[in-house]
Structure 1
Amino acid sequence: MASNSGTGQDNSIHTDREDEDADAILVSLEEEDYAAYRAQRLEELRKAAGASAGTTAFTTVKKAYITLKSDDEALAFTTEHERAVLHFFHPEFSRCNTMDSHCELIADKHAEYGGADVSFARIDVKNAPFVVEKLGVRVLPCVIGFVKGAVKGRVTGFEGLCWDGKESSIDVARALEEVFLGWTVISKRLLLGHEDERSDDDEEAPDRRKAARGAIRSRNQRDDDDDDDWD
């Protein structure tokens, strides 16, 4: 009897140990499964982050006037949009800030009413040395229009836009929009006060508009001769 009792006790101890081992194995498997899942999930998140990083600059394209930060972004911007306007500027130049305000005004107006058929952006020349060199940007501000990646024209400084020294005037923005229209970068005028809405108290306005059209044609001819292109 004593012998049988001892055997039963040994069996009970053995069974308990087997149960503990089985539980430990299950816990270990669960931990391994969790670790594997966590590693897999982290890898998925890393891939997703990498994919989104490549398109960060262009998720904001819906904004009227965006800021590009590199040569790659500038190249992509002008090739991914059929019509594009790019302002090359230096943040410490006051005339660049003035031109920037005109570009932003036109961009906002065309984003609101123009059916988003043209995209506008700015880029600091320090952040795009390759593009600046490729396009021969030497004088700032410089605004360049593109259609299907090809340069259609450029405005250097305020040439052809201002005759009275009032570079911040709304008339300059209107003249700039007229230039964009001549490049076929935009398809319509949206700023008020163009030649079909002449001001009665501005006797010199017709002469300025005539001079503007001449300057635009001259500038367009020079740009065509230069044949500036991304490729």
Structure 2
Amino acid sequence: MDPDAFRSTFSGLAFGNVMAAAARDYQKEMLAQENAPASSATNQEVDLDELMDDPELEKLHADRIAALKKEAEKRQALKRQGHGEYREISEGEFLGEVTGSEQVVCHFYHREFYRCKIVDKHLKALAPRHLETKFIKMDAENAPFFVSKLAIKTLPCVILFRNGVAIDRLVGFQDLGGKDDFTTAALENILIKKGIIKEQKDSEEDDNDDDGDNSKCRTVRSSETQDSDSD
């Protein structure tokens, strides 16, 4: 055989074998890619099934549902006791209201005193934010017995009760810088420090405002008389 012809034939055979091998490798790679998603999906389904059957996960889920249900029931019970709103009560209702809740904020006011109206504005904003505490007010003129028993000399006077016992009080604006233009946040912080309300953890602070303003930034216009507390 002619050497040149032999080399040409051998080169052709070698090239053909390389192409055949490449074709086989390509086919294997394509098959592997086609099978990969199905295999991954199968593994994922198995993992999900295992998670759904995990008794610890099921227990955590059940405990969470039970906790949410208990919290909702507690909130409803507090609302039935008058929590969540700032209400006016009569002298005859006072003992039942104060002893009926663990924590109570009671504002003794006079309807003609400007500073009492300022306190009303702030307590009305705080009541829906602190469901754990009851917020009430009582006209001091119509409650002479308790005004005397509690030794109330100056209005506005906010008395804090725990389990029916007066534990502290805010007289006038002494704890608020003596000025009328304090913010709701300032009063809120004082009540938190005195332990009658809890510090809020959430970031929704303006849902309960009547005019859409943030209660933490709300102020009330100062009166012409700086020291307007009245005996």
Q: Give the TM-score normalised by structure 2.
A: 0.50
When Rg is computed on C-alpha atoms for both structures, the one with the higher figure is 2
In terms of fraction of residues, the more helix-rich structure is 1
Q: TM-score with structure 1 length normalisation? A: 0.50
